[in-house]
């Protein structure tokens, strides 16, 4: 599928709702500028290949062995290999040679600062799909979720959403509950992943937009009041029955959507 999705996002005003997004095959030698965010989509149900095998490091294999179920182990390996293959295209190096370190709360980053050239990344996967977000010199967080209606309950919303989000969610029509729930969920996850704090960031201490047709946006943050103007959010049309959001530090004027798998 050909095309690139371009739209404006300024920190002084919320982004316009995205009505159409298309994906194209990712280039072998991508170049990324500071005003861009690149989102790569990778299937996790593709056949295993020597390319994946060659991309994995010893640490990846050790981590994979900790999974109890083979299906989880395989998805982890494909997602991790896909991340390495994508980063190697930007950095023009062999994927297996890339070394990662983690921040205080577990967010990974490239260990070799000189090699990275300021490249930042974040990975999320759910069911049979992974999304990898790439930026340069700006923090980024991405989340994708396979939408399961049985997971959408008031009890779950009350536990994970802020009071303002719960109130908004209660007003959503029944036919839009599932989509609105997972839109809110991925917006919150993308934000805390971008900040690099994961679940150490209290989920009830910030509010994102909720409701059918609402543009992805951080409305308020009791964690850091300046964040509402600091972060740029975009919903991503990842695929049927998937919800996804990317959060980027600063203005994002160009978003490119690329498929890893032909």
CA dihedral 199, 181, 23, 195 (to 10 degrees): -20
Greatest Cα-to-Cα distance within the chain, rounded to the nearest angstrom = 51
Sequence-separated (6 or more) residues with CB below 8 Å from residue 149: 177, 178
Question: How confident is the model over 91-139, as pLDDT tens digits?
Answer: 999 999 999 999 888 899 999 988 898 999 999 999 999 999 999 999 9
Closest CA to 99 of 90, 88, 3, 206: 88
> Can you tell me whether residue 25 is helix, strand or coil?
strand
Contact at 8 Å (CB) between 64 and 73?
yes
Mean per-residue pLDDT over the chain, rounded: 90
* Residue pair 175/232 in contact by the 8 Å Cβ criterion: no
Nearest to 56 by CA among 92, 89, 88: 88
The first and second tokens of residue 255, run together, are 């978003």
Look up the pTM and report it.
0.90
Q: How many of the other CB atoms lie within 10 Å of CB of 179?
A: 18
- pLDDT score at 201: 84
Could you report the per-residue pLDDT of 41-81, keeping only the tens digit for each? 999 999 999 999 999 999 999 999 999 999 999 999 999 99
- 224 in Cβ contact with 27 (< 8 Å): no
Q: How far apart are the first and last CA of the chain?
A: 10
Give me the phi and psi of 111, to 5 degrees please. Answer: -70, -35
Nearest to 249 by CA among 205, 200, 195: 195
What is the rounded average pLDDT of the residues 167-195? 96
Rounded distance between C-alpha atoms, residue 124 and residue 188, angstroms: 13
**Percentage with pLDDT > 70 across the chain:** 92
What would you report as the CA-atom Rg of the chain, rounded to the nearest whole angstrom? 18
Predicted confidence (pLDDT) at residue 7 exceeds the cutoff of 60: no
Structure tokens at 229: 């103007």
Composition of the chain by helix, strand, coil, percent to 5: 35, 25, 40
Cβ proximity of 105 and 93 under 8 Å: no
């Amino acid at each position: 599928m050909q095309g690139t999705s371009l739209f404006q996002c300024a920190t002084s005003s919320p982004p316009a709702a995205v009505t159409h997004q298309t994906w194209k095959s990712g280039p072998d030698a991508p170049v990324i500028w500071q005003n861009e965010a690149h989102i790569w989509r990778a299937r996790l149900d593709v056949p295993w290949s020597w390319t994946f095998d060659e991309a994995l490091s010893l640490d990846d294999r050790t981590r994979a062995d900790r999974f109890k179920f083979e299906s989880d182990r395989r998805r982890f390996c494909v997602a991790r290999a896909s991340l390495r293959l994508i980063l190697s295209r930007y950095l023009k190096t062999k994927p297996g040679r890339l070394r990662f370190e983690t921040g205080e709360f577990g967010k990974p980053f490239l260990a070799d600062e000189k090699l990275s050239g300021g490249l930042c990344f974040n990975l999320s996967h759910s069911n049979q799909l992974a999304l990898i977000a790439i930026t340069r010199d700006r923090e980024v967080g991405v989340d994708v979720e396979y939408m399961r209606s049985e997971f959408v309950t008031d009890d779950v919303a009350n536990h994970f959403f802020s009071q303002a989000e719960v109130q908004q969610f209660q007003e959503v029509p029944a036919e839009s509950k599932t989509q609105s729930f997972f839109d809110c969920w991925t917006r919150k996850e993308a934000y805390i992943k971008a900040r690099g704090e994961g679940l150490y960031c209290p989920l009830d201490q910030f509010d994102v937009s909720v409701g059918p047709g609402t543009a992805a946006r951080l409305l308020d943050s009791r964690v850091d009041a300046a964040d509402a103007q600091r972060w740029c959010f975009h919903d991503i049309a990842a695929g049927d029955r998937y919800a996804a959001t990317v959060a980027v530090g600063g203005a994002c004027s160009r978003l490119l959507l690329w498929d890893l798998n032909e």
